[in-house]
C-alpha cells in the first residue's frame, strides 16, 4: 500500500485518512459522529425491462454474471448464511477467473475457512481485496501483508450502514437461497441447503445495482415467505447444490463441558440475577459459543425457579433457545442467524420465532434499532484492557483471525457482559491495552472471569446493587495483575508499519487498524 497520512482518532489510535484510495472519517467517539447526507439511491428500474411473466431464470451463474455485466474493478457481494458449508462464493470467483476479470472487491457478510480456495485469486489479482471478516486462512494471508488492498472490517450493522449510506456501492450481489421462485422471491427455510433466514443479504438486495438469486430448490411462484423480495432481483439461477448441509450447521452450538467455562457462565447468570437484570419481561442476547449457551441454560433455571419469562431473546437461534420458546419461557425469539436445524424448524413453524435483519437489529444509521432494547448482552472477546476496551478480531500475536459479527452492535444493549477466561494458553486476556480496538470501554459494563468480576466504574448502579453480594467483585486492574502474576507480562505483538485492514465503528468511522505481522 502507498504511504497514507495517519491521524489520531478519538480513541487515541492512529488511523489513515484514506483507505484503498477513498477518504474516510476517523472515529469521533460513541454517539459523536454526525451522520450527514442522504442514503444511497439505487437506479429507477422499469417493469418494461423485465419479463412480463416474472420468469427471470437464466441457465447458469456464469450467464447471469455476464448479463449483470461483471467486469474489472467491480464490487461483488456474497453472504455467509451457508457458513463453512458455502459452495457459492468459490464458484463465483472461479467463474470470474475463467472470464479473466480482475481487481474485484469481494464484499462478503463474512468469510469462512471454506473460502481458503480464494487465496489463489487474491494472489493472481482476480480479487483485489476483501471487505468483510476474514476468518482463519484468509485472515492469516492478510496479516502476512499479501492482500493487494486494505481489508475493511465491519459489524453486521456496520455493513448495512455502509451499503445504505453509499459508502460501499455493490455492483453485483449474488444471493444464495435454500428456496426461491423464478421471480427472485427467496427464503432460507426450505430445501437441502436450509439456513433459516437471509437477513445478511437484505441490504444487498435493496441497494445493489444487479441482484442474482441462486438456489438449489426452485419452486413455483410464490416462494413464501419472501425473505428476499423478487422485486429487487434481476436474475435467478438454479444449481444442483449450494451448500454442504453438514457444514452449514455451525459446530459451535454445543454447550461447553469445560468446568472453567461452566463456572464463567454460572457466575454471569448469578450476577444478572443479583443485579435484577433477570426480571419478568426482560430480554437477553447471548452468542452461539459454548459459554454463551451455558449462560442461557443458567438463565433458564433461574427463570423457571422464579416463575418468570423473558419478553424476547435476540441473536442467533439454536436448539436451546427454541426449547425455551416452546416451554413458554420466552415470548419471542428475534432471530438474526439460525445456527441449527431446530432453529430452522422453529422459524418455519412458530410465529413467535421471528426473523430479523441487520437493518432492524443493528443499523446505527436508522431511526433507532433493536440493540438498545436488549437488557443484557453476553459476548466474547480475545482481549480486554484495563479501560474495558475489547478486541474480537486479532489474537495477542497480532494475527487477524476473526470477524466482528454483531458484536459491536450488541454493545448498545443496556448491560454488556463479557464472560472470558483470565488467560488462554498462559497468555493473559485482560491486558494493559488491547492489540486491536473493536469496542470502546465505555460501552462494556462487566468482565466476568473465573477469578473475579470487574464492573466498569461508570456503572455505579450495578456496583450499588452488588453491595453485600458474595460475588467476587474486583477492579479490572486487580484482574490484570492477577493474570500477569500467573502468566507473566505478555509480550506485545510485533507489527510492520503496513496497514492490512481497518476496523470500522458502527457509524462508518475508523476505529483502529490492523498491521502486518512482522
Q: Are 398 and 515 in contact (CB under 8 A)?
A: yes
**Binding flag, residue 67, its own copies (CB under 8 A):** no
Which residue among 54, 113, 145, 380 contacts its own copies (CB under 8 A)? 54
Instruction: Compare residues 13 and 40 and give the one whose CB is closer to its own copies.
Output: 40
Report the nearest approach of its own copies to the CB of residue 290 (Å).
Answer: 28
Using the contact rule CB under 8 A, the part of the chain among 288-296, 352-360, 422-430, 476-484 near its own copies is 352-360
**Binding flag, residue 472, its own copies (CB under 8 A):** no
Which residue among 25, 99, 341, 354 contacts its own copies (CB under 8 A)? 354
Kindly state the cell numbers that stand for 332. Answer: 419471542
Which residue among 71, 254, 290, 332 contacts its own copies (CB under 8 A)? 332
Report the nearest approach of its own copies to the CB of residue 71 (Å).
Answer: 21
What CA–CA distance (Å, rounded) separates 295 from 198? 27
Q: Are 271 and 448 in contact (CB under 8 A)?
A: yes
x/- binding map, residues 409-448, to its own copies, per CB under 8 A? ---x-x----------------------------------
DSSP category for residue 86: B
**Binding flag, residue 43, its own copies (CB under 8 A):** yes
**Binding flag, residue 184, its own copies (CB under 8 A):** yes
**Binding flag, residue 230, its own copies (CB under 8 A):** yes
**Binding flag, residue 364, its own copies (CB under 8 A):** yes
**CA 100 → CA 117, 127, 405, distances in Å?**
17, 11, 32
Instruction: Compare residues 307 and 351 and give the one whose CB is closer to its own copies.
Output: 351
**Binding flag, residue 141, its own copies (CB under 8 A):** no
**Binding flag, residue 125, its own copies (CB under 8 A):** no
Report the nearest approach of its own copies to the CB of residue 261 (Å).
Answer: 31
**Binding flag, residue 69, its own copies (CB under 8 A):** no
343's enclosing H/E stretch is helix 341-349
Instruction: Compare residues 221 and 495 and give the one whose CB is closer to its own copies.
Output: 221
What CA–CA distance (Å, rounded) separates 195 from 178? 7
Altogether, the residues listed in the chain come to a count of: 518
**Nearest Cα to Cα of residue 89 among 65, 68, 69, 72:** 65
**CA 187 → CA 112, 157, 193, distances in Å?**
21, 21, 11
Which residue among 82, 106, 107, 226 contacts its own copies (CB under 8 A)? 226
Name residue, grid cell 489463489: 120
**Binding flag, residue 328, its own copies (CB under 8 A):** no
Report the nearest approach of its own copies to the CB of residue 350 (Å).
Answer: 11
**Binding flag, residue 23, its own copies (CB under 8 A):** no
Q: Are 438 and 390 in contact (CB under 8 A)?
A: yes
**Binding flag, residue 395, its own copies (CB under 8 A):** no
Which residue among 2, 23, 37, 100 contacts its own copies (CB under 8 A)? 37
**Binding flag, residue 190, its own copies (CB under 8 A):** no
Report the nearest approach of its own copies to the CB of residue 362 (Å).
Answer: 10
**Binding flag, residue 203, its own copies (CB under 8 A):** no
**Binding flag, residue 2, its own copies (CB under 8 A):** no
Can you say whether residue 94 is alpha, beta or left, with left for phi > 0 and alpha for psi between -120 and 50 degrees? alpha
Within 8 A by CB and 6+ apart from 335, the residues are 196, 197, 315, 316, 317, 343, 347, 353, 354, 355, 356
Buried b (16+ CB within 10 A) or exposed e, 363-402: bbbeeebbbebbbbbbbbbbbbbbbbbbbbbbbbebbbbb
**Binding flag, residue 232, its own copies (CB under 8 A):** yes
Site residue total, its own copies (CB under 8 A): 64
Which residue among 96, 162, 212, 233 contacts its own copies (CB under 8 A)? 233
Count of C-beta atoms within a 10 Å radius of residue 350: 14
Q: If you write DSSP's letter for every residue of 324-392 in order, what string do you get?
A: HHHTTSEEEEEEEEE-SHHHHHHHHH-TTEEE--HHHHT-TTSS--SGGG-SEEE---SEEETTS-EES
SS3 174: strand
Using the contact rule CB under 8 A, the part of the chain among 35-43, 244-252, 253-261, 442-450 near its own copies is 35-43
What CA–CA distance (Å, rounded) separates 76 from 94? 13
Contacting residues toward its own copies, per CB under 8 A: 31-48, 50-54, 56, 164-165, 183-184, 211, 220-222, 224-226, 229-234, 281, 311-312, 332, 334, 351-352, 354, 359-360, 363-370, 372-373, 412, 414, 507
Amino acid at each position: 500500500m502507498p504511504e497514507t497520512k495517519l491521524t489520531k482518532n478519538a480513541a487515541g489510535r492512529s488511523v489513515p485518512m484514506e483507505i484503498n484510495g477513498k477518504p474516510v472519517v476517523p472515529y469521533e467517539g460513541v454517539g459523536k459522529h454526525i451522520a450527514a447526507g442522504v442514503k444511497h439511491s439505487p437506479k429507477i428500474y422499469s417493469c418494461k425491462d423485465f419479463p412480463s411473466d416474472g420468469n427471470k431464470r437464466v441457465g447458469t451463474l456464469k450467464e447471469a454474471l455476464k448479463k449483470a455485466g461483471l467486469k474489472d474493478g467491480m464490487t461483488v457481494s456474497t453472504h455467509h448464511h451457508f457458513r463453512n458449508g458455502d459452495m457459492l462464493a468459490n464458484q463465483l470467483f472461479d467463474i470470474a477467473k475463467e472470464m479473466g476479470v480482475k481487481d474485484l472487491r469481494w464484499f462478503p457478510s463474512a468469510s469462512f475457512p471454506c473460502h481458503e480456495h480464494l487465496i489463489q485469486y487474491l494472489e493472481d489479482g482476480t480479487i483485489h481485496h476483501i471487505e468483510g471478516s476474514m476468518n482463519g486462512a484468509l485472515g492469516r494471508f492478510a496479516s502476512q501483508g499479501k492482500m493487494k488492498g486494505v481489508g475493511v472490517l465491519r459489524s453486521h450493522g456496520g455493513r448495512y450502514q455502509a451499503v445504505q449510506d453509499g459508502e460501499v456501492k455493490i455492483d453485483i450481489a449474488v444471493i444464495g437461497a435454500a428456496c426461491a421462485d423464478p421471480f427472485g422471491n427467496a427464503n432460507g427455510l426450505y430445501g437441502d441447503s436450509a439456513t433459516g433466514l437471509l437477513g445478511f443479504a437484505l441490504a444487498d438486495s435493496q441497494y445493489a445495482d444487479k441482484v442474482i438469486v441462486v438456489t438449489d430448490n426452485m419452486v413455483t411462484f410464490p416462494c413464501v415467505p419472501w425473505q428476499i423480495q423478487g422485486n429487487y432481483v434481476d436474475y435467478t439461477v438454479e444449481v444442483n447444490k449450494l451448500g454442504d448441509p453438514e457444514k452449514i450447521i455451525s459446530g459451535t452450538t454445543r454447550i461447553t463441558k469445560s468446568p472453567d467455562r461452566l463456572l464463567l457462565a454460572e457466575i454471569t447468570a448469578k450476577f444478572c440475577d443479583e443485579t435484577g437484570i433477570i426480571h419478568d419481561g426482560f430480554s437477553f442476547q447471548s452468542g452461539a459459543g459454548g459459554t454463551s449457551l451455558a449462560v442461557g441454560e443458567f438463565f433458564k433455571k433461574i427463570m423457571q425457579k422464579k416463575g418468570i419469562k423473558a419478553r424476547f431473546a435476540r441473536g442467533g437461534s439454536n436448539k436451546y433457545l427454541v426449547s425455551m420458546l416452546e416451554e413458554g419461557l420466552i415470548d419471542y425469539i428475534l432471530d438474526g442467524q439460525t445456527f441449527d436445524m431446530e432453529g430452522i424448524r422453529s422459524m418455519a413453524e412458530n410465529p413467535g420465532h421471528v426473523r430479523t435483519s441487520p437493518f432492524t437489529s443493528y443499523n446505527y444509521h436508522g431511526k433507532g434499532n433493536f440493540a438498545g432494547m436488549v437488557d443484557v448482552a453476553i459476548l466474547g472477546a480475545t482481549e480486554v484492557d484495563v479501560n474495558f476496551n475489547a478486541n474480537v478480531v486479532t489474537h495477542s500475536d497480532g494475527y487477524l483471525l476473526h470477524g466482528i459479527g454483531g458484536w459491536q452492535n450488541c454493545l448498545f444493549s443496556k448491560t454488556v457482559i463479557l464472560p472470558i477466561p483470565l488467560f488462554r494458553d498462559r497468555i493473559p486476556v485482560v491486558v494493559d491495552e488491547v492489540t486491536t480496538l473493536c469496542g470502546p470501554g465505555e460501552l462494556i459494563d462487566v468482565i466476568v472471569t473465573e477469578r473475579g468480576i470487574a464492573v466498569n466504574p461508570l456503572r455505579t448502579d450495578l456496583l450499588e446493587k452488588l453491595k453485600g453480594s458474595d460475588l467476587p467483585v474486583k477492579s479490572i486492574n486487580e484482574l490484570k495483575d492477577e493474570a500477569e502474576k500467573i502468566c507473566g507480562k505478555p509480550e506485545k505483538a510485533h507489527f510492520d508499519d503496513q496497514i492490512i485492514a481497518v476496523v470500522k465503528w458502527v457509524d462508518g468511522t475508523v476505529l483502529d487498524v490492523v498491521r502486518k505481522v512482522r
